[in-house]
Chains A and B, each alone.
Chain A
Amino acid sequence: MIGSLVSTGASTVTEFISQNIFGLDDPNWFMYLLCGVIAAVLVLHVIAVGALFFIWAERKIAGRIQDRLGPTRVGGKFGWLQTLADGVKLIAKEDFIPRDADAPLFKIAPYIAFAASFAAFLALPFADGAVAHHVNTAVFFVLAVLGLEVFGVILAGYASGSKWSLFGAMREAAQVVSYEVPLGMCVVIPVFVAGTMNLTTIGEMQAGWFNNWLVFHDPFTFIAAIVYFTCATASVNRAPFDLAEAESELVAGFHTEYSGLRWSFFFMAEYGSMFLVSALASILFFGGWHPPIPIDIWILEAFADPDLVAAGPLKDAVPSLVTFLVMLIGIATLVAKSVIGVVVMMWVRWTFPRLRIDQVMATCLKYCVPIAAVCFVGSMTWETLDLPSMNTINRYEIHEDWSEDLAVSTVGEDGVDPEWPEDENDDESSEVMDGEEAPIEEDSVAVQNGLSLQEGE
């Protein structure tokens, strides 16, 4: 009964819900709406519940690092309900707009920051199949949308009609625009190694033991992961890069004039972005939803139907409920990795002193950009020359699902492969043949080109 409830093949949460909970193959608009709302609410709760937990964790961690206890009274021994108490306090506060403020922009700015942070989650896969909207260029989409968060901050800084706010916003703008350069460079490295911008595919390419994680691909990706994390910390405006809200000099920076719920929206956005960049780091460098020990693969193998194993991917050979279980394990793994990332950010915040604005810029332009550039060239060279790597997975066997559709459309009706230029064939196949587990020659060429062409014979 339950087994039939959970079927495979759903590529997004929306499809999953419509197929399995409502049993619809071709849902009508109402079901689409309902499923879309469920997916959106799930994603929203990643931010909302995440903020609830992270604010408590931040207080606790700050307290412990400073040799205090942190919250202890609200909600039992550990102060679990401290955030809820904070929330009630914020709701009870007066929603205040200064006289010199540009009222419409002042009101809308927190929502822009929050919406940008929220929208970036739409393309973020939490496991294979657990993504709100399957975007082919998810890496690019997430970075583009995340960059919009600063827009809310700048609007807030300008619209407050206060010098403190304006200074904070200007600093934030300069900082984010600068740090997008090394951040983008670091993100391009795993994209290059994986050969795709699809986050689901990049995650699937790191299955197995932890040595398959892209951070262990070569020394350069290892350094790039560290640089990425530094730049991500700066781009979500966390200490030691929190110049936009430097209390010592700017009162509270861009949110000086905000109070109550509007203020809290900025913080929901900040914690949302922290979680997002950590999740992105997990997917790009730290194996995504695959645990360090391949528990998910073991489960799949234990339940696999031996007749079907040879036919296709392991996932198609197991009962659908097992696939669902593995997906849940994947979600838990990714969330755990992201929480570790967020906790490291908090640890850094309460350990290092805040940098000066010129030091922030120097860190970006004099250190992060050159290091990222060197890592980019280095890891390209490593991949091209096929130097020894800790990764043992054959990445060319994993490709995006759309490529099969394209292969059908490009291969002629008689099933004959289109002819590829001869010289290209030679170059690329020899390159692949050098690898340990080179697949059949023709296949490798096709996959190298992003196409999985059906073999003629």
Chain B
Amino acid sequence: MGILAAVNRVYWHEFFFMLFAGISVVFAVCVLLTQNIVRMAFYLVLSLGSTAGLFFLAGAEFVGAMQLMIYVGGTLVLLIFGVMLTAQQRYVKMNTHPTDWVLATIVGGSLLVLLIGAAAGVDSWKDASASKKALAELDVDDARTATPLGLALTGVRVDKLDSDDPALANGQSGYLLPFIIVSVHLLVVLIGAAYMARTKRSATAPVGRAERARLNIMQMEHETDDVVYSASKQSSSSLLDSDQSQAEESTDEAQE
């Protein structure tokens, strides 16, 4: 029973925080140290997944599921492209140039300094017992965030209802405008992606023929040697002629 009593004194919330944070950090370092692109993606997924675990531990189930869906799903697509573009053996290993290391160290280091500064600025974190007390008072079941988040996005902040400012207290402090702007932005991106990806079958055929004709002419010019590069005017006019003749030919074919 001595062991049981000892185990009971372990602060389990803290323990699991340490566990998830440790997994996250260790695999983030692994991403840096490995050179195989697929393993990198795998470690990144583990790192991001344990970050989602941190969110679940904090009771933010919506954000945790979001983390899984967006980051882990996004890394998945990254992995697919990584494999598709580098499936040959010589590309699978990624070699980092020393300059990249220097640049990355500067960027990452300044972010780290910023974050440590921000973390040191939180007063309640300086006193360990105070933060434990605050955590003990927090009921994780109350932290179910999805509906308040959704209401905030549609314009009602349930956490501001008892605010002194009457406009805020009426719940008119939500994020409707940013939400709409982001939605429209995403819609535009989606339509743009669909437009870029669509097959231009009807448009490409004639252009392809003209292009081919142009290439033929240029080859001929090289072979005959009597047309030099300085005579660009002449060649471009001949190209135009050839394009027209080509177009006439194609219409003839179509009529036949």
Q: Which residues of A contact B (CB under 8 A)?
A: 28-30, 102, 105, 135-137, 140-141, 143-145, 147-148, 150-151, 154-155, 158-159, 166, 169-170, 173-174, 177, 180, 196-197, 400, 402-403, 405-406, 409-410, 412, 418-421, 424, 449-451
Contact = CB atoms under 8 A, between A and B. Distances in A.
A217 to B, nearest CB: 21
A284 to B, nearest CB: 16
20 contacts: A29-B12, A102-B38, A136-B146, A136-B147, A143-B69, A144-B66, A144-B69, A151-B72, A151-B79, A154-B76, A154-B79, A166-B87, A170-B84, A173-B80, A177-B77, A405-B142, A412-B162, A418-B161, A418-B162, A450-B147
A145 B68 contact: yes
Given A147-B68, A418-B161, A450-B151, 16 more contacts: A29-B7, A29-B12, A102-B38, A135-B61, A136-B61, A136-B146, A140-B65, A141-B65, A143-B69, A158-B83, A159-B38, A170-B84, A400-B144, A410-B161, A410-B162, A420-B170
A418 B144 contact: no
Given A29-B8, A151-B76, A421-B171, A158 B158 contact: no
B38 A158 contact: yes
B156 interface: yes
A443 to B, nearest CB: 17
Interface string B43-85: 0010000000000000001101110110011001101100110
B14 interface: no
Contacts of B79: 151, 154
Nearest to B83: A158
B4 interface: yes
Contacts of A450: 147-148, 150-151
Interface in B106-146: 141-142, 144-146
A102 B89 CA distance: 12
B229 to A, nearest CB: 45
B141 A402 contact: yes
Interface string B147-179: 110110000101001100000011110000000
Contacts, number: 116
Interface string B170-200: 1110000000000000000000000000000
B12 A105 contact: no
Interface string B1-17: 00010011000100000
A166 B8 CA distance: 49
Given A158-B38, A405-B141, A420-B170, A170 B62 contact: no
A419 B169 contact: yes
A196 B73 CA distance: 24
B39 interface: yes
Interface string B33-45: 0001011001001
Nearest to B80: A173
Contacts of A412: 162
Contacts of A410: 158, 161-162
B180 to A, nearest CB: 17
Contacts of A28: 8
Nearest to B145: A136
A163 to B, nearest CB: 9
B39 to A, nearest CB: 7
Contacts of A173: 76-77, 80
Nearest to A365: B194
A106 to B, nearest CB: 11
Contacts of B169: 418-419
B170 A406 contact: no
A196 B147 contact: yes
Contacts of A451: 158
Given A406-B158, A449-B151, A148 B171 contact: no
A424 B176 CA distance: 14
B72 A136 contact: no
B157 to A, nearest CB: 11
A151 B7 CA distance: 36
B151 A140 contact: no
Contacts of A145: 65, 68
A403 B150 CA distance: 14
A447 B16 CA distance: 36
Given A29-B7, A420-B171, A105 B38 contact: yes
Contact of B73 (A141, A147, A406): A147
B122 to A, nearest CB: 24
A410 B161 CA distance: 7
B142 A402 contact: yes
B65 A137 contact: yes
Contacts of A196: 147
Nearest to A176: B76
Contacts of B38: 102, 105, 155, 158-159
Contacts of B62: 136-137, 140
Contact of B146 (A166, A180, A197): A197
A159 B36 CA distance: 12
B68 A148 contact: yes
Contacts of B72: 144, 147-148, 151
B68 A105 contact: no
A105 B92 CA distance: 15
A418 B156 CA distance: 13
Contacts of A150: 76
B170 A144 contact: no
A170 B83 contact: yes
A346 B172 CA distance: 52
A102 B83 CA distance: 13
Contacts of B39: 102, 105
A147 B42 contact: no
Contacts of B151: 449-450
Contact of B4 (A30, A147, A166, A170): A30
Contacts of A402: 141-142, 144
Contacts of B161: 410, 418
Nearest to B4: A30
Contacts of B76: 147, 150-151, 154, 173, 177
